[in-house]
Amino acid sequence: MNTVAMEIKVEIIKRETIKPSTPTPHHLRCFDLCLIDQLQPESYTSLVLFYSNSADSPLPYEERISQRLKASLAETLTRFYPLAGKIKDHVSIECNDDGADYFEARVYCRLSDILERPEQKMVRRFLPKEILSRQGTGKLVVVQASIFECGGMALGVCISHRLADASTTSMFIHGWACTALGSGPEAVPPEFGAASRLPPRREFSPTPPATHLVVEKSATRRYVFDASKITALKAKAASASVQKPTRVEAVSALIWRCATTVSGSKYGSLRPSKLIQMINIRKRLVPPSPENCFGNLVWSFEAQTGDCSDIELHSLAGELRKGIEGFTENYATKFQGDEAFSVVSKAYKEIDKLYTTEVIKFFCFSSWCRFPFYEADFGWGKPTWVSMGNMESKNVIVLMDTRDGSGIEAWVCLSEEDMALFERDSELLEFASLNPSVQN
């Protein structure tokens, strides 16, 4: 195991509040959450983007970098004005231009030291401690810019999950980078119509299911599937019903199979397991919502194994395909108005029961693939690596693109007991590399 995470020193040298460059007009001061926003926990969606210093010169440019980030963040908050406000109640945001928290830090090592064998515990060092303690800072956006001795940078971006899913997070980062480059007008502005389609309900104040996820005694590992291995995996996962599985379907099916096998080994026999797959529903709704629709436009479908014969790779890939097609067939037209509330409230009760009883083993998957995080150029090049900022919830798996866009990085969080078996699974290691160097 890499010990760099325990040795590096990250020192906060400055904390500021960045307010929108233009005040929010009075008629926009109250922003309604959408119905799905109400289900989200009061935690942060976080990413860390790592940038190399191509000039490899030690840091006379720190102040210039900081000024560019802060000025462009202020402009970006003007366009994404709800993110500069504060949570008023469980149905709305007070858009009072409270601003974002901005931290600057120095890292007493080189970026290459981090990228050699990156671990989740190390990545979390580039997020403010307040985020990790779940206290938050009171702000809906929190940023930490950490400068390495070599001139490289880690940019940690944290956005309240009450307002942002992966798509909204990607849109915000892309808009911020375009503004920093001076091409802000080219960025697609956010569309704020989610609440009109999915109006919030004051009488609906659920405890978000994610708060039930166990975070104690978990272990997180990074697995990388390169393009050639994914091609072989897709061929193995193919069947008459799913002749061309996607790379996400193939990778998800393999991880699901291996995690189910590991879980069954503790009991002496395989038990049924359930996969909960989070999906971006913007394009899947009828009529579709705009791709730039702001907020949490995500939902989930479930796929379940039965007896031992059901955990063959092609069977699991088939279950995933049936799940996504089932959403389109059964729910695509229902996410609007009163019918949406009926669907959401019923599903919430079922999911809440699953999380709280754990009668059946379940795994929650989320794919962040195809979001253009690696295109986020603030003026010093595109990221060398983009990572999940914080993953501690047991049985959660997040998939992200590799830098070349053809491979997949899987962040897998299991109980320590399950991970000890999972990380030695021979079928998994046939297709995936355990935490290889980013620099390769």
- Is residue 308 within 8 A of residue 339, CB to CB? The reply is no
The Cα diameter of the chain in Å comes to: 63
Q: How far is CA 190 from CA 160, 171, 218, 351, in A?
A: 16, 8, 36, 30
Distance CA 97, CA 23 (A): 7
- CA 416 to CA 55: how far, in whole Å? 42
- Sheet of 100-107: strand order equals 10-18, 100-107, 141-148, 153-160, 44-51, 385-388
Instruction: Note if 26 is an active site residue.
Output: no
| H-only helix segments in 107-246 | 111-115, 120-123, 129-132, 166-181, 194-197, 227-237
Name 240's Cβ contacts closer than 8 Å, sequence gap at least 6. none
- Residue 10 and residue 106 in contact, taking contact as beta carbons nearer than 8 Å: yes
> Which is the catalytic residue, given 161, 165, 174, 418?
161
- Give CA–CA dist 299/347, Å, rounded: 10
Q: Is 32 a catalytic residue?
A: no
Residue keyed to tokens 């980062």: 173
Residues 157, 259 contacting (CB under 8 angstroms): no
How far is the C-alpha of 214 from the C-alpha of 312, rounded, in Å? 28
Q: What is the helix (H) or strand (E) element at residue 314, kind and residue range?
A: helix 313-331
Identity of the residue numbered 222: R
Which position has the token pair 């940078």?
153
Q: What is the C-alpha separation between 140 and 159, in angstroms, rounded?
A: 6
Residue with tokens 């007009």: 25
Whether residue 84 contacts residue 18, with contact meaning beta carbons closer than 8 Å, is answered with no
The residue among 421, 424, 422, 396 whose CA lies nearest residue 411 is 396
C-alpha angle with apex 273: 335 to 204, nearest 5 degrees? 30
As annotated, the active-site residues are: 161, 377
